[in-house]
Structure 1
Amino acid sequence: MNVLQYVNPLQGTASTFRFSNGNTLPLVARPFGMAAWSPQTDEAGKGWFFHPSHRHFEGIRLTHQPSPWIEDYGHLTILPQTGPLIVSAAKRSSSFRSEDMSIKPDYFRVKLRRYNTLLELSPTERCASMRMTFEAIQEARVLVAPFAGESSITIDPGRRRLTGYTRANSGGVPENFAMYYVIDFDCDLDVQASGTWDQDGKASIHLHEVGNRTSAFIGLNIPESGEVNLRIGTSFISLEQAITNLTQEIGSKSFDLVRAEATQAWEETLNRIQVEDQDEDKISTFYTCLYRVCLFPRMWHEFTAQGEKVHYSPYNGQIVKGPMYCDNGFWDTYRTSYPLFSLLFPSRLGEILESYVNAYKEGGWMPKWSSPGERSAMPGTLIDAVFADAFVKGIEGYDVQSAYEGLLKHASQAAEDAHFGRKGVRAYQAFGYLPADQFHESVSNTLDYVYGDFCIAQLARSLGKDEEYTLLMDRARNYAKLLDPSVGFMRGKRADGSWDEPFDPIEWGGAYCEGGAWQCSWAVQHDIVGLAESMGGKDVFLARMHELLSTAPLFKVGSYGLEIHEMSEMASINFGQFAISNQPSFHIPYLFAAVGSPAGTQYWVRKTAKELFSSAPDGLPGDEDNGSLCAWYIFACMGMYPLCPGVPEYVIGSPMFERMTLHLEKGKQIVIEAACNAPNNCYVRSVQVNNESHQPLFFTHDQLIDGAFIQFDMSDIPQVKHVEDKNLPYSMSVR
């Protein structure tokens, strides 16, 4: 099935610093590939270096940027040029017509009007094949421009080759970090028209230079056909390894063959899920979201000439055996991306987890936000949930004992370097929460620690660590320490036990991360029933959920001091205080089902997916964040959601396609059919699994991974009936 035709990499790219429609890049890459490529239209925009409304092209950019807030590393741009040599990004740029630029996961093409040149690119995992077709063959050259940082350039006319490295980065790297690259040309180089330029734009006819942002211009003796092919290899290990990568992945392959292989790689990956429906816009949104899920985390390991898997460690600067994956924020991705991997790519997930164990062994701490090393962004240590979820689902391929050791370390020990581990771990152990008068974002961090402890406990139980299991499960109840019954929200508490004053549920910041009390009081995925009982019972809890979704989307900027983009995005839609634009709200629609009211879940999940997602440049309701938001949409379409990673269950939602088939690794299938599905038929009348009636409001992972035939009967009328506790999704207080 040809599904690549439905993917639009421009999804979410119509974003700015102040308002996110995804904050994505139109990446041309292999699935989970180390090297990604994107058009650059505005270098001055820093993390926002591309926008679909721009009509000037500054170069095709080798990028490793996972988020505009994290920015790039090991990056450079490549541009064909004719006429006078002009090197600054803004001045060298060429206009293009929108219809002259094509961006697909496997292929990029743009016609540069200023230079009358066609540029094409197709990626491999660590390399790329590039084809340039010049209409004017005189005064033709290629510009290679790294970014700020030490850069080395060597032009070798005899070998028709350029080699170099760049140390450009935005943090999270050892001192010896470099991205090495080699570019082979299939035409002779014009030595007299080749050279370098420095950070000030001063050009010189030198074939070798080292300096800050040293860049290269390579004169070309173009054949009469006007066609020049470039083969580009990259490595974080060495120049020799970049050449090895180029030999292994491209060698003598033609551009068209590289493109055909890239197409096949994406078709095989995306066809893990096949959907059937009359609505092609919905199909396009689905496969575009699945493409985004399969970009991160990024492979960082490479293969020696002997086939050995090795990597440069962004944690200790050494060359180490084994896998490595980078560019992931676990605060975002634990909720949706990794649970989806457990179904679609369990073998790769095992390799990813082994790489995180390697990160622990190399750096001494489990990663929290890697790009490529530790960036220490966002609350908590939610890699806890990534490992727990994989462990309870039987994912193999990693050192479980070492994983547990690393997780327990940050749950029990303070790091000397605040970039690592949990901040305030001693205070958390002493109080059972982080005091708001001592720690920023105290509520968000505390709730993430509490849930993280629950997750680590799942490994402790199976590994026979009984004392540690008991301690961690006791701490998993600490969320109650921050629940103020008088206001019905989680609230900052001081070291003396008094509540932080004043309190306003629409004020953001302070004790909360990227939200306020309305958004951040529900991060108790492991005990929603217990939370409801603490608030006065399920009826009170449901009333609060309805209030959340009907309260005007008002906010106060609070400690942020300005309107951050998440506030703007929530205020731009009529979904109450439900800020689907940010991860703490992802599970909110599923809380209805968690306490036995599935119709509320079905209505709000369907409404959110239908109204707020598309494949368009403005097609996402907030930061996409390494696949996490798009994976939310994939689960919404499936009619299920991993409410509590660390528990092998998926709460039932509202399926969106007439038929969906998931092709599992071991040859089994999950087939999901939705009879009587229609735009207004969001409610589930009944469910059958393998032709038997299914009463629980969840599916187990074992039910799915062994292959399942799931039949939903849909209706436009909500079903109201009593749900026994045994049929509710997992809550620690119930089972």
Structure 2
Amino acid sequence: MNLLSYVNPLQGTDSVFTYSNGNTLPLIARPWGMASWSPQSDEAGAGWFFHPSHRRFQGLRLTHQPSPWIRDYGHLIVMPQSGPLYLKPDARAAFYRSQEMIVRPDYFRIRLPRYQASMELVPGMRSARLRFTFEDGQDARIVLSPFEGNSSIRIEADGRRITGYTRAHHGEAHPDFAMYFAMDFDCGIVPDKSGTFAGDDYAPTGLTEGAGERIGGYVGLDLPASGIVNARIGTSFISLEQAVWNMESEIGGFSLEQLREQTSAEWERRLGTIRVEGDDTEALRTFYTCLYRTCLFPRTWHEYKPTGEQVHFSPYDGTVHAGPMYTDIGFWDIYRTSLPLYSLLFPSLLGEMIEAWTNVYKESGWMPKWMSPAERSAMPGTLIDAAIADAYVKGISGFDVQAAYEGLRKHALTAAADGVHGRTGLKDYLHFGYLPANLYHESVNNALDYHYGDFCIAQMAKGLGREEDYRVFMDRAANYKRLFDTNTGFMRGVDDQGKWQEPFDPLQWGDPYCEGGAWQCSWAVPHDIAGLTELIGGSEAMIRKLDELMTMAPAFRVGSYRAEIHEMSEMAAVDFGQFAISNQPSFHIPYMYAAIGKPASTQYWVRKTMKELFGSGPDGLPGDEDNGSLGAWYIWGAIGLYPFTPGVPSYVLGSPLFRKATIQLENGRTLDIGAESYRADRVYWDKLLVNGKPWEALSISHELLASGADLRFHMADAPAERVVSGDALPYSMKNEAASHNEP
């Protein structure tokens, strides 16, 4: 079964600044590759530099962009050209026929009628093999165009090589940051038809070497009779010598076809971790495309010396350190779905990633929040708390546990002076138990994420025997109740005098809420749904609230945003009430039904969301994909499980999409998930067998699944008439506290 054939990298690319169908790029890359590639159609589009409707090709872009909102760094354009020299993006752009552009994870090809030339690429981890075919050999050349920032180019005609670096970036990076590259050709370079150009006007310098603002280069090619030129490129964040070594060690003498065979095999291995069986081809395409997206980020940032030693350039302190590094992710996005998925599919890799993020603490003094390549300090909370605690309680190894705990504990107890690292408003959070809305932006979201983060840190403290820490952090985790208004049934902003922020409108976005309003942001208490349900007025009251949320009009008021942001538009575009699946705070909302004992509603809403809002095409996602987080949400939904509370080693039960899913676990065992009496339109199940025995609980432990298990859901046409309560419900902090207080 060729799983790679189901993957469509164009998924989600039909996006613009004002409306996201994914805000993705069609990345040609290895799984978690350091060097990714994407066609560029509009450099002026900034983070939105490719759109499938443009039908213009400005070059193939070496990119490290994790999100259009974060922008790119270390980026570079490679463009074949013949005839007169054109350097500016719009001037050199060429039309292409859509059927003559092939974009796959393992391979890219495009033909450009303007230049009577085609270009192919196969990615390595930090390198790539390229092939250019010139049908008309008149003045054939390759243009290497950097972006704003200091850069360097050197054309070595005798060595058939072009080398250089770029320091282009749009965020935080050490002054010594650079992306180095070396590119070799298998044909001669014509010196008098090669040169450099400089600045925003792309003016040729008449030189074959230069360094300065936006220095690029072009190389004239001495074509063979076939018109075919093979090239290879290596990249590094450490040095030019390391870039050459990466090229030699990863590409060596491999042909494009040989390298593609390797790249394809690596993708097949990762995609084949989950093999699903079903009759709906589009569902298969969507599933494996989403799985591809979960395997792109975080980006590998470490490299290997000729001795085999694993090393990385630190964008924090500007020196080279031993050990792993992964970057280009925000923990607010990925702690919910993609990292818990790694704990089941790729536990060793997850352990190495956490070691990398612990290295960030050792190199910068703080745990990361949003990295690209260094700290961007975006989004609420310090949700690496959940990422690391979840791995720890699941027994994931391979990282310095004591140092990781020390880093989490530090930002929970110590305020950073720079306003970038750690928890914003920590002193007031410790004083009030929340963040006063009159003093802090997005106070409700930040405080709720701190409360949950404290819960997660407490889980590590418990495992490490830090009893006093455990008590302190668990007490703090319960302070979410201070933000809940029993009169309105929502989390609300509270000022430093303990008064509710007025006026209050649950449809109004912004101010104390992040990218949402009270309807979206009042449920961020995954560690204590039972406690939140009690505040609402009990299970029946919570069910009524959730039903209202899912079925009411998708109305909103722009509030403090003062304009309609894309998340508002995406929610309003579909009939799912206030359930804004386009953004992470809503991810767990349909699973709340199961968490309080009404699994049929979870089954209905999750399957409806997957069927109506997800696809494999350019408009196939209901909002920002965000580094695998939305793709992983679909994967979890398809296998009938969900990591409702990262930091607690269990999963809430959903409804399996496929007839069968077989997960090949890293320990050699398998997790089999089957749907008996399967039919595509059957979303409900009335009984579940786990390893042949009836299963009554609405959650299942990570340990049981990771040991290898067989789950058999019996699908049904109608919801099962049963009430689930007590010990059969998923974890809640309230229930744990109650059990500890029993005599």
Q: TM-score range by the shorter chain?
A: over 0.9
1:546-561 to 2 correspondences below 5 Å: 546-561=547-562
> Is residue 670 of structure 1 aligned with residue 671 of structure 2?
yes
For the residues of structure 1 that align with 2:473 and 2:24, how far apart are their CA atoms?
A: 37
Counterpart CA distance in 2 for 1:536 and 1:499 is 20
Q: Tell me by how many angstroms 1:314 deviates.
A: 1.1
Matches within 5 A, 1:552-631: 552-631=553-632
Task: For 2:316 and 2:492, locate their aligned partners in 1 and report how far apart those are by CA, in whole Å.
Answer: 36
1:66 is displaced (CA, Å) by 0.1
Which residue does the alignment assign to 2:495?
Answer: 494
Q: Is the 8 A contact 2:596 2:725 kept in 1?
A: no
Secondary structure class of the residue paired with 2:192: strand
Q: What residue number does 2:87 align with?
A: 87
Hey, what does 1:388 align to over in structure 2? 389
TM-fit CA distance, 1:230 = 1.0
Partner of 2:740: none
1:359 Cα deviation after fit:
0.4
Please list the CA deviations of residues 667-698 of structure 1 after superposition, one character each: whole Å capped at 9, or x if unmatched: 10001110122233111110001111011001
Matched residues in 2 for 1:430 and 1:666: separation? 47
Q: Any idea what the Cα deviations from partners look like across 1:593-612, whole Å, max 9, x if unmatched?
A: 00101011000000001110
1:596 partner amino acid: G
RMSD: 0.6
User: Deviation digits for residues 490-543 of structure 1, max 9, x if unmatched?
Assistant: 000001000000000000000000000000000000000110001111111111
1:179: which partner in 2?
179
Task: Look up the equivalent residue of 1:597 and give its one-letter code.
Answer: K
Deviations 1:234-259 (A, max 9, x none): 00000000001011100111111111
Q: Give the aligned partner of residue 503 of structure 1.
A: 504
Instruction: Report the Cα distance in structure 2 between the residues aligned to 1:386 and 1:267, rounded to whole angstroms.
Output: 27
Query: SS in structure 2 opposite 1:159?
Result: coil
- Which residue does the alignment assign to 2:313? 312
Partner Cα separation in structure 2 for residue 47 and residue 450 of structure 1: 33
- 1:552 Cα deviation (Å)? 0.5
Q: How much does 1:152 deviate?
A: 0.5
Cα distance in 2 for partners of 1:224, 1:722 equals: 77
Alignment of 1:291-690 (within 5 A): 291-690=292-691
Amino acid at match of 1:236: F
Task: Give me the whole-angstrom Cα distance separating, in 1, the residues matched to 2:468 and 2:606.
Answer: 40
Q: Could you tell me which amino acid in structure 2 is paired with residue 425 of structure 1? A: L
Counterpart AA for 1:709 = D
Does residue 176 of structure 2 align to residue 188 of structure 1?
Answer: no
Give me the whole-angstrom Cα distance separating, in 1, the residues matched to 2:175 and 2:417: 20
Q: Deviation of residue 719 (structure 1)?
A: 1.0
Is the partner of 2:734 in helix, strand or coil? coil
Give, in whole Å, the separation in 1 of the partners of 2:434 and 2:367. Answer: 22
Say which SS state the counterpart of residue 229 (structure 2) adopts.
strand
Counterpart residue type for residue 237 of structure 1:
I
Q: Which residue identity is paired with 1:410? A: H
* Aligned 8 A contact 2:448 2:480 in 1: yes
SS at match of 1:143: strand
CA 1:255–1:680 in structure 2 vs 1: closer, same or farther (change >3 Å)? closer
Cα deviation, 1:179-216, whole Å, max 9, x if unaligned, reads 00000010000000000111122113211101111110
Instruction: Give SS of 1:68's match.
Output: coil
Q: Letter of the aligned partner of 1:189 in structure 2?
A: I
Counterpart-to-counterpart distance in 2, 1:99 and 1:489: 51
- In the alignment, the residues of structure 2 paired with residue 143 and residue 725 of structure 1 have an alpha-carbon distance, to the nearest angstrom, of 67
Q: What residue in structure 1 maps to residue 3 of structure 2?
A: 3
Instruction: Please say if residues 192 and 205 of structure 1, whose CA atoms lie closer than 8 Å, have aligned partners that are also in contact.
Output: no
- Aligned pair count? 735
Match of 1:160 in 2: 160
Q: Secondary structure at the match of 2:652?
A: strand
Supply the distance in 2 between the matched residues of 1:210 and 1:139 (Cα, whole angstroms).
25
Aligned 8 A contact 2:41 2:59 in 1: yes
C-alpha distance in structure 2 between counterparts of 1:354 and 1:83, whole Å: 51
Whichever residue aligns with residue 501 of structure 1, its letter is E
- Give 1:551 shift: 1.3
- The whole-number CA distance in structure 1 between the counterparts of 2:431 and 2:113 is 66
- Give the corresponding residue for 1:132: 132
Relative to structure 2, which stretch is displaced further, 676-685 or 338-347?
676-685
Instruction: Report 1:200-211 matches (<5 A).
Output: 200-211=201-212
- Structure 1 SS opposite 2:427: helix
Paired position in structure 2 for 1:703: 704
Give the C-alpha shift of residue 724 in structure 1.
2.9
The 3-state SS of whatever aligns with 2:155 is strand
1:40 and 2:40 are equivalent in the alignment: yes
Map of 1:213 onto structure 2: 214
Determine the C-alpha separation between the residues in 1 that align with 2:443 and 2:556: 20
* Aligned match of 1:268: 269
**3-state SS, counterpart of residue 477 of structure 1:** helix
User: In structure 1, how many angstroms separate the alpha carbons of the residues matched to 2:133 and 2:723?
Assistant: 68
**Structure 1: distance between partners of 2:91 and 2:414:** 53
The 8 Å contact of residues 193 and 205 in structure 1, kept in 2 or not, is answered as no
Q: Mark the runs of 5 or more structure 1 residues left unpaired by the alignment.
A: none
Contact 1:656 1:677 in 2 (8 A): no
**Residue in 2 that maps onto 1:96:** 96
Check conservation: 1:597, 1:720, Cα contact below 8 A: no
Is contact 2:80–2:140 with CA below 8 Å preserved after alignment? yes
In structure 1, distance between residues paired with 2:324 and 2:172: 18
